[in-house]
């Protein structure tokens, strides 16, 4: 997921990175094809050059060799000023319009089935950055018809909804990255659309793990397997301490 997502990060852009796999993907992109990709972290680190992968968006490594050690309000003001190209986020639930839930599972906010970590800066990131990138595991309990709580707005309930809510025109989710495929959003309906499949995955695999009707185009692309260069850089340079990579060990074993 990190390798494939990194290929979509463009050189010279400004990225507001979330904790975990977004950091992996961003750092990998910087080392391979996007050396001028500038990362902004929620606690105020702007364009750092950390010696090791940060543990979180508030880790002191996010200010190592940074061009500016700002504070949280200044970091968020960059989005309000239109400086930030991409926000890179995860979530517990997502629906067909790209709305994300990281707040609670259930129907009663005060008595949920599961209380999740909450927004942090995810609402502001998805509201004010020009484009939102989303990375998460793919299953029917995550890809749902309607999220239990909108923590981070996608296209809300369809075309024009973001603009009616006062969010920047032209902003919204761009891509969703999972272990099954990559998804974008139809320009007219704002419904999620299958863009490409990861190696070894079929369209039926994707449909069976999605709790709503995806747009399935006639021609679907396929992503290349992670190259040896990508894997070596990811394991030896980006995360040799396996801060994030070790989470995948549990899933494999």
Q: What is the pLDDT of residue 252?
A: 44
What is residue 182's predicted lDDT score, i.e. its pLDDT? 98
What is the structure's pLDDT at 70? 92
Q: In what order do the strands lie in the sheet with 181-185?
A: 68-69, 45-46, 38-40, 14-17, 86-89, 131-135, 172-177, 181-185, 192-197, 221-222
| CATH 2.40.50.140 is the classification of domain 2-252 | no
Task: Name, in order, each residue with C-beta under 8 angstroms of 111's C-beta and a sequence gap of 6 or more.
Answer: none
Q: Is 229 helix (H, G, I), strand (E, B) or coil?
A: helix
For 119, half-sphere exposure in the C-beta direction (CA atoms, 13 angstrom radius) is 13
* Tally of CB atoms within 10 A around 54: 24
Residues annotated catalytic, as ranges = 42
Q: pTM (2 decimals)?
A: 0.93
Tokens of 118: 């909450």
- Residue 50's pLDDT is 82
Query: How far apart, in whole angstroms, are the C-alpha atoms of residue 209 and residue 140?
Result: 5
Looking at residue 253, its pLDDT comes to: 39
Query: Could you state, in order of their start, the residue ranges of all structural domains in the chain?
Result: 2-252
Count Cβ atoms below 10 Å from residue 57 Cβ, excluding itself. Answer: 24
Pick from 163, 156, 162: which is nearest to 97 by CA?
156
pLDDT block averages, 10 residues each, the chain of length 253? 96 91 93 95 91 84 92 92 94 97 97 94 94 97 98 97 96 98 98 98 98 97 96 94 78 45
Q: What is the pLDDT of residue 6?
A: 97
| Phi, psi (degrees; rounded to nearest 5) at 29 | -60, -40
């Amino acid at each position: 997921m990190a390798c494939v997502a990194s290929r979509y990060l463009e050189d010279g852009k400004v990225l507001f990175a979330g904790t975990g796999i977004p950091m992996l993907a961003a750092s990998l992109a910087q080392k391979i094809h996007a050396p001028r990709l500038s990362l902004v972290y929620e606690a105020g680190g702007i364009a750092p050059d950390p010696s090791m992968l940060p543990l979180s968006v508030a880790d002191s490594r996010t200010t190592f060799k940074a061009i500016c050690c700002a504070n949280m309000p200044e970091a968020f003001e960059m989005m309000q000023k239109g400086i930030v190209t991409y926000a890179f986020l995860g979530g517990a639930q997502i629906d067909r319009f790209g709305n994300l839930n990281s707040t609670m599972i259930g129907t009663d906010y005060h008595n949920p089935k599961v209380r999740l970590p909450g927004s942090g800066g995810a609402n502001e990131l998805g509201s004010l950055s020009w484009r939102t990138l989303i990375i998460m595991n793919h299953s029917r309990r995550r890809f749902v018809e309607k999220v239990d709580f909108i923590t981070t707005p996608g296209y809300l309930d369809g075309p024009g909804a973001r603009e009616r809510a006062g969010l920047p025109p032209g902003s919204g989710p761009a891509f969703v990255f999972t272990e099954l495929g990559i998804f974008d959003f139809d320009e007219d309906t704002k419904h999620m659309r299958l863009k490409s499949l990861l190696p070894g995955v079929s369209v039926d695999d994707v449909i069976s793990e999605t709790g709503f009707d995806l747009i399935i185009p006639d021609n679907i692309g396929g992503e290349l397997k992670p190259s040896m260069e990508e894997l070596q850089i990811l394991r030896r340079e980006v995360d040799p301490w396996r801060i994030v990579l070790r989470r995948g060990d549990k899933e494999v074993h």
